[in-house]
Amino acid sequence: MKLRSLVSMFLPMAAILIAMACGPAQAQGRGSRDVPYNTSFGLNITNGSGGNTYSPDVIPASKRLVIEYVSVSVTAGPGDKPSLFLNDSVNGASRSYWIPLTLVDASGYEYYRASQQVKLNYDGNGIGGPGFQCLRGVNSLAPLSCFVTISGYLVDK
């Protein structure tokens, strides 16, 4: 009985001492020269089935943007069924990744939101930044508004 109480008393103290000896946790994948990045951009479509746009923020050709988080806001006409795809580009190969949207309000216009942790890379080209496509399931004359915020960090290529 005494041994059990001694172990239960010293075990938490040992865990604290080990944690303190290891030092503070470091964020994985980040170096001291990495530069934080955050941008917001949007697209308004007056008619048709959708469109695409690119961030106006230039990613230098010597850098790669590591996108860690995306937040999306979409306003659509009733029954439009919008979808959003975020683009990456590495070594000249581009891909589109679907970001699931959640309907949060359907009184009149429909309001969709998404907040998602991601891990995408975008190689800088010295001209522009990453982009997205905002689409809808029907070809409509109703306005469609898509707004995206991305955050991450820039690393050397």
pLDDT number for residue 29: 55
Beta bridge partner(s), residue 66: 121, 153
Helix (H, G, I), strand (E, B) or coil at 15: helix
pLDDT number for residue 39: 95
What share of the chain in percent tops pLDDT 70? 80
Residues in CB range of 5: below 8 A, 6 or more apart? none
Q: Closest Cα partner for 120 from 79, 148, 78?
A: 148
pLDDT number for residue 128: 86
